[in-house]
A and B are shown apart, each in its own frame.
Chain A
Amino acid sequence: MPLVETTERGLYCRAGDFYVDPWSPVDRALITHSHSDHLRWGSKRYLTAAPNVPVLRARVGPVDVEGLPYGESQTVGGVQVSFHPAGHVLGSAQVRIERGGEVCVVSGDYKTQPDPTCASFEAVRCHHFITEATFALPIYRWPRTADVMQDFDTWWQANAAEGRTSVVCAYALGKAQRVLAELAAEHGPILVHGALQRILPLYEAAGVRLPTTAHASALSVRAAGGKALVIAPPSVLGSAWLRKFGPVSTALCSGWMRVRGTRRRRGVDRGFILSDHADWPGLCESVAATGAEEVWVTHGYTEPFARYLSEERRLNAVPIETRFTGETADEAATEAEDATDVVPAEVAAGEVP
C-alpha cells in the first residue's frame, strides 16, 4: 500500500493517520505553508515547520499547533515525519514521510531561486515525490532576480521623476516581503496596504531584514508627491482604494507576467517576472534531484508535466486531482491575499468559536 493516498479531503497518510494540507477540517493536519490553498481553518491539531507556526497562527487564529524545526523528525502514528525547506515563503516546507525505509515527499509549493525572506529549497531524496506544477511549461524560465529588480528600480525612479506614484501588486504573504527585501534602492517612502502590514511583524520576528515602511493612505501617498512606492495585494487593481492616490503607474509581480498577453489582460502598466514557484528548469531539476521514480503532479499544468515526466524522463508520473487548482493567470489576484478568505472574521480576530 502506498504511504499516501488521495481522498475527498486531500492527501492522506493511512499509516500515520494524518492529512497533508487538507481541504476541510480533520483530526490531524500537516501543513506545508500558510497560503489559503494549503492551510484551511478548523482542524483539531496542526503540525508544521517551526518557522511557520507564527504565520499559521496569524492566519487561522489560536489553534492547536506544534512546530518541528527543519530536518528534525517525529513519529506520528506508525511513520516518521520531518519538514524540509521549500524556499516558497517564510516557514514553507516539504513534508517527508518515512516508513520502514520507504520515503515519500510532499513538496507543497516550492521554488529553487534564492529568496532572502525564507530558507532555501533543499531537494530530499525519496521514492515517491508529490510535486507542484504551477508553471510547468517550458516557456516559464525565470530571469535573474537581480535583473528583474534592476528593471523595477528603473521603473520606480522614472515614475518618481514624473510625480507618478508607483503601485506594485504582489501577494501579501511572501511576494510582497520578497520585493521589499530585494529592492535595489529607495526613491521615496515605501507605503504598504493594510493586508500586508499585518504580516510584516512576523517577518521581523523571524529576523528577516526589511526596509522601513508606513501605512498607505490617500494622505501618506499624496504627501509623497508621486515619489512613493505602494505595495498592495493584486485585488486593489481597479478598486476605489487605488483611485484616491492621484496619478499612478501600476505593476504586478508574478510568474504569469512572463506572457505578454497576461500582463495586457490584467491591464497593468508593467509586469515583473518574479515568482515564488519553481520555473520549468527548476521543476525538472528538482524532480530529478529527488531520485523518485513515482511522481504525482498537482497544482497547475499537471497533465503536460506528468506526460513529459513519463514520456521523456521515463518516470512513473501521474497528475492527481486537487480541489484547488493553485494559482492561475486570471486568479493570480485571489490566492492567499489575507486571512479573511480562510477564516471567519471572529477567529481571525482571536476569538475561538
Chain B
Amino acid sequence: MRRFAQLFRDLDRTTRTSEKTAHLVRYFGEAAPADAAWALYLLTGRKLKRLIKTRALREWAAETAGVPLWLLERSYEAVGDLGETLAWILPPPESAVDQSLAAVIEQRIQPLAEASPAQQARIVREAWRVFGEYERLVFHKLIAGEFRVGVAQTLVVRALAEAVGVPAPTMAHRLAGDWQPTAEMYERLVAGDAAADDPARPYPFFLAYALEEPCRTLGEPHEWQAEWKWDGIRGQALRRGETTALWSRGEELVTERFPELQPVLDALPSGTVLDGEILAWRDDRPLPFAALQKRIGRKTVTPRILKEAPTAFQSYDVLEYEGIDQRERPLVERRALLEQIVAQVAQPRLRLSPIVPFGSWDELEQQYARARAEQVEGLMLKQRDAPYGVGRRRGPWWKWKAEPYSIDAVLLYAQSGHGKRAGLYTDYTFGVWDMRRLVPVAKAYSGLTDEEIREVDAFIRAHTLDKFGPVREVEPRLVFELHFEGIQVSSRHKAGIAVRFPRMHRWRRDKPPAEADSLETLVSLAGLHREQLHPRISRQAMLFDLGGDLDDGPTGTAADSLDQEAEAPRS
C-alpha cells in the first residue's frame, strides 16, 4: 500500500506527461501481480463501491484526532476534499505496517461491505493506527468510492504496455471490457495468452479530435468521408459464437438496458463487431438526447419506456468480421463490408450511418450549416484510406461540431468549488429574464480564467444577498455569455427547460443585467413554443417561491454531470 500511495502522490504532484509515464512504468515494473492488477483497476477509472457513510467517517476521525466535529468541518471547508482533510487531521500512526495493496483492499476494505457499523469503525480505526498520511488519503478515497487520479486511461495503458513489453494497441484490446483484478488476470494480461481471451471483449474505441481549423486545410475533399455526428451513446455491438454483447464507450456492458437491440445482436454473423451509436429513434428520426438519457439511469426497462423511447443501433464501422480483426484495413474497404453486413442482417433496428455527400469543401460547409436542422451535433470527417486506430489521435478522424448556442445570462447563485478550486466560489447558476424576474436556466463552472474566477469570487463575497447552506444568492449584477449544446424541455427545472453542457464563454462586463437575454429568446432558439412549457413554469415557480425546490437552481441539470472533467474528486 505504501508503494501505491507513493505512486498516487507522484502522479498527483506532476502535470508533466513524461513524468507521469515514468512513474507508472516504474510502478508496474516493480509491483507484484495482485497489486498491479488492483492498481490497474483503479487507475483505469474502475471504482470500488462506496462502503462507508462519510458522516460516520468524519465522526470517527474527529474522535480519533481529539478535535470537535465542528473544527473538522471547518478544516474540510479550508481543504475542499474530505479524504484529504481526514488524512492530515489524524495523529501520526502508532506503528507503521506496510501491507500490499491487494491485501489492504481484500482484507481491510472489501469486508467493510458486510460489516456492522461497530465492526466498520473498528476496521477503519485499525487502518488509521498503521497507515501513514498518503496511505490514509488513498484509503479514504477507496472506501468512499471516489478514488480518482489525474491521469488519462490511455497513458496508463501505454505505461503498462511499456513496462511489460507488450504492444500498446494489443494491451488496450486486452484491457477493454469487464475483468476482475486478480493476480491470474494480470499474469494473463502480461503473458498474452490469446486463447484465454474473453469472447465478449470489445475493441478500444477510436476517438476524434475537434476540428479547429477550416475544413479545407484537410487537403483534398475526395480523400475524406463525411457523416453526421449523432447525439447518442457510442457503442459496440458484438457476437462471437453464442456470446452477444452491447458495450458503451464507458466500457460498460449495457446489453440488458436495450432489450430491443438483442435481435440485432442475435442476427449478426458470428465473429462480428460493429462500432456505432445507440440512438433513441422513433418514426424514422432521432429523438433528443434527453429521451435516451431517461434510459441510462434505469435498471429495468418498462414497456412504456420502450414505446416512448425505443432505440436503434446506428452503425459506423466494422471492427471484426468472421472472427478476424478488420481495423488495419482502410476505411473504404471497411465501409463496403459494413454496408454488406447491414444489408445481410436486415434488422429494422440496425441502421447504417448515412454518408453525407459533398464534392467540394464549399459544399461540405453548406451541409455543416444544416446540422442543427438535422438534429445532429455536427459532422464527422474520416480519412478514407486510414485504419481504425486506438484511443484519441490527431489526423485520421475529426469531429466538426455545430456552432454552440449562445445567450447572455445573469449570475444568480454561487457555490464553492472542490479540489483545485477549494475555497473559491466557482460553480455558478445563471438566469435569464422571464417577465420581470430572473429565472435560473443553467449551471456552469468552466470557461473563466483563474484571474476572473478570483475577481468573481470577491464580487460574490461582497454582494451576497442570502445563504442557503453552501449556496450564496448573489446580487444579480454580473452578465456572462454562456455557450451550450442543446435545449430541452424539462419539468425538473424552474424555467421549464434545461440546457446541455453549458459553459461560460466570456464575461460581458459591457452589459448591464437588464440587457441579458430572456426566456423567450431561449425558447425560440430551441425552436419550441412558449405554450409547450408554460404550465410547468407556473407550477415550478410556485414551488420555488415557497422555498421548496431549491434544487433546480443551484444544482443544475442532470446533463451537467456528463460534462464534468476528471478533476479532483468531489467529496
Which A positions have Cβ atoms within 8 angstroms of B? 137-141, 258-261, 263-265, 269-271, 304, 307-308, 311-312, 329-330
B14 touches A259 (CB 8 A): no
| A270 to B16 CA separation, bound complex (whole angstroms) | 12
| A167 to B131 CA separation, bound complex (whole angstroms) | 32
Q: How near does chain B come to A51, taking the closest CB pair, in angstroms?
A: 33
Query: In the complex, which residues of chain A have a beta carbon less than 8 angstroms from the beta carbon of B421?
Result: 261, 265
Query: In the complex, which residues of chain A have a beta carbon less than 8 angstroms from the beta carbon of B423?
Result: 261, 329
* Stretch from B64-72, B479-487, B496-504 that touches the partner: B64-72
| A300 to B14 CA separation, bound complex (whole angstroms) | 29
A137 touches B71 (CB 8 A): yes
A263 touches B13 (CB 8 A): yes
| A-B contacts, 22 listed (Cβ < 8 Å) | A137-B71, A137-B75, A138-B89, A139-B78, A141-B88, A141-B92, A258-B88, A259-B79, A259-B84, A261-B79, A264-B419, A265-B420, A265-B421, A269-B16, A270-B13, A271-B13, A308-B67, A308-B68, A311-B68, A312-B67, A329-B423, A330-B454
| A138 to B493 CA separation, bound complex (whole angstroms) | 41
Q: How near does chain B come to A237, taking the closest CB pair, in angstroms?
A: 12
The interface bits of chain B over 421-441 (1 if a CB of A lies within 8 angstroms of the residue's CB, else 0) are 111000000000000000000
A137 touches B80 (CB 8 A): no
Query: In the complex, which residues of chain B have a beta carbon less than 8 angstroms from the beta carbon of A265?
Result: 420-421, 450
Residue in contact with B74 in the complex, picked from A263, A264, A304, CB distance below 8 Å = A304
The interface bits of chain B over 459-477 (1 if a CB of A lies within 8 angstroms of the residue's CB, else 0) are 0000000000000000000
A-B pairs, top 4 by smallest CB distance, nearest first, are A139-B88, A261-B422, A264-B420, A137-B75
Given A139-B88, A261-B80, does the pair A308, B12 have CB atoms closer than 8 Å? no
What 17 additional pairs, Cβ within 8 angstroms, besides A138-B65, A261-B419, A330-B454? A138-B72, A138-B89, A139-B75, A139-B88, A259-B78, A259-B79, A260-B12, A261-B79, A261-B80, A264-B419, A265-B421, A265-B450, A270-B13, A304-B71, A307-B70, A307-B71, A329-B423
B81 touches A260 (CB 8 A): yes
The size of the chain B interface, using a CB distance under 8 A, is: 30
B74 touches A137 (CB 8 A): yes
- Find the B residue at minimum CB distance from A271: B13
Q: How near does chain B come to A281, taking the closest CB pair, in angstroms?
A: 9
Q: How near does chain B come to A152, taking the closest CB pair, in angstroms?
A: 13
For A141, A259, A263, the residue with the greatest tally of chain B CB atoms inside 10 Å of its CB is A259
B72 touches A261 (CB 8 A): no
Query: In the complex, which residues of chain B have a beta carbon less than 8 angstroms from the beta carbon of A311?
Result: 68
**Per DSSP, are chain B's interface residues mostly helix, strand or loop, or mixed?**
helix
| A149 to B168 CA separation, bound complex (whole angstroms) | 38
| A260 to B74 CA separation, bound complex (whole angstroms) | 17
B88 touches A261 (CB 8 A): no
B residues 269-301 near A (Cβ < 8 Å) are none
Q: How near does chain B come to A299, taking the closest CB pair, in angstroms?
A: 15
Q: How near does chain A come to B526, taking the closest CB pair, in angstroms?
A: 37
Query: In the complex, which residues of chain A have a beta carbon less than 8 angstroms from the beta carbon of B84?
Result: 259-260
Residue in contact with A308 in the complex, picked from B71, B81, B422, CB distance below 8 Å = B71
A261 touches B81 (CB 8 A): yes
Q: How near does chain A come to B172, taking the closest CB pair, in angstroms?
A: 29
Query: In the complex, which residues of chain B have a beta carbon less than 8 angstroms from the beta carbon of A140?
Result: 88
B360 interfacial contact with A, CB 8 Å: no
B568 interfacial contact with A, CB 8 Å: yes
| A258 to B78 CA separation, bound complex (whole angstroms) | 11
Query: In the complex, which residues of chain A have a beta carbon less than 8 angstroms from the beta carbon of B88?
Result: 138-141, 258-259
Q: How near does chain A come to B80, taking the closest CB pair, in angstroms?
A: 5
Query: In the complex, which residues of chain B have a beta carbon less than 8 angstroms from the beta carbon of A258?
Result: 88
| A259 to B133 CA separation, bound complex (whole angstroms) | 12
Query: In the complex, which residues of chain B have a beta carbon less than 8 angstroms from the beta carbon of A270?
Result: 13
B344 interfacial contact with A, CB 8 Å: no
For A139, A140, A260, the residue with the greatest tally of chain B CB atoms inside 10 Å of its CB is A139
B15 interfacial contact with A, CB 8 Å: yes
The interface bits of chain B over 348-375 (1 if a CB of A lies within 8 angstroms of the residue's CB, else 0) are 0000000000000000000000000000
Q: How near does chain A come to B40, taking the closest CB pair, in angstroms?
A: 23
A261 touches B75 (CB 8 A): no
| A141 to B65 CA separation, bound complex (whole angstroms) | 12
Q: How near does chain B come to A339, taking the closest CB pair, in angstroms?
A: 27
B120 interfacial contact with A, CB 8 Å: no
A139 touches B420 (CB 8 A): no
Query: In the complex, which residues of chain B have a beta carbon less than 8 angstroms from the beta carbon of A312?
Result: 67-68
| A261 to B88 CA separation, bound complex (whole angstroms) | 13
A139 touches B85 (CB 8 A): yes
- Find the A residue at minimum CB distance from B74: A304
Query: In the complex, which residues of chain B have a beta carbon less than 8 angstroms from the beta carbon of A261?
Result: 79-81, 419-423, 568
The interface bits of chain B over 523-537 (1 if a CB of A lies within 8 angstroms of the residue's CB, else 0) are 000000000000000
- Find the A residue at minimum CB distance from B137: A260
Q: How near does chain B come to A202, taking the closest CB pair, in angstroms?
A: 34
| A141 to B90 CA separation, bound complex (whole angstroms) | 9
- Find the B residue at minimum CB distance from A137: B75
| A263 to B15 CA separation, bound complex (whole angstroms) | 12
Query: In the complex, which residues of chain A have a beta carbon less than 8 angstroms from the beta carbon of B422?
Result: 259, 261
- Find the A residue at minimum CB distance from B418: A261
B residues 50-104 near A (Cβ < 8 Å) are 65, 67-68, 70-72, 74-75, 78-81, 84-85, 88-89, 92
Given A137-B78, A139-B79, A258-B88, does the pair A269, B68 have CB atoms closer than 8 Å? no
| A153 to B309 CA separation, bound complex (whole angstroms) | 61
| A79 to B12 CA separation, bound complex (whole angstroms) | 54
| A269 to B75 CA separation, bound complex (whole angstroms) | 24
Query: In the complex, which residues of chain B have a beta carbon less than 8 angstroms from the beta carbon of A139?
Result: 75, 78-79, 85, 88-89
Query: In the complex, which residues of chain B have a beta carbon less than 8 angstroms from the beta carbon of A141?
Result: 88, 92
Q: How near does chain A come to B427, taking the closest CB pair, in angstroms?
A: 15
- Find the A residue at minimum CB distance from B450: A265
| A54 to B397 CA separation, bound complex (whole angstroms) | 68
- Find the A residue at minimum CB distance from B85: A139
| A307 to B67 CA separation, bound complex (whole angstroms) | 12
- Find the A residue at minimum CB distance from B14: A269
| A166 to B68 CA separation, bound complex (whole angstroms) | 41
| A138 to B65 CA separation, bound complex (whole angstroms) | 9
| A139 to B137 CA separation, bound complex (whole angstroms) | 13
| A269 to B16 CA separation, bound complex (whole angstroms) | 9
| A260 to B11 CA separation, bound complex (whole angstroms) | 12
Query: In the complex, which residues of chain B have a beta carbon less than 8 angstroms from the beta carbon of A307?
Result: 70-71
| A271 to B423 CA separation, bound complex (whole angstroms) | 18
Query: In the complex, which residues of chain A have a beta carbon less than 8 angstroms from the beta carbon of B16?
Result: 269
| A325 to B13 CA separation, bound complex (whole angstroms) | 29
Q: How near does chain B come to A53, taking the closest CB pair, in angstroms?
A: 37
Query: In the complex, which residues of chain A have a beta carbon less than 8 angstroms from the beta carbon of B72?
Result: 138
| A264 to B16 CA separation, bound complex (whole angstroms) | 13
Query: In the complex, which residues of chain B have a beta carbon less than 8 angstroms from the beta carbon of A304?
Result: 71, 74
| A330 to B78 CA separation, bound complex (whole angstroms) | 12
Query: In the complex, which residues of chain A have a beta carbon less than 8 angstroms from the beta carbon of B68?
Result: 308, 311-312
Q: How near does chain A come to B426, taking the closest CB pair, in angstroms?
A: 11
Q: How near does chain B come to A192, taking the closest CB pair, in angstroms?
A: 25
Given A260-B12, A264-B420, does the pair A138, B81 have CB atoms closer than 8 Å? no
| A140 to B74 CA separation, bound complex (whole angstroms) | 13
| A270 to B65 CA separation, bound complex (whole angstroms) | 28
| A330 to B454 CA separation, bound complex (whole angstroms) | 10
Q: How near does chain B come to A151, taking the closest CB pair, in angstroms?
A: 10
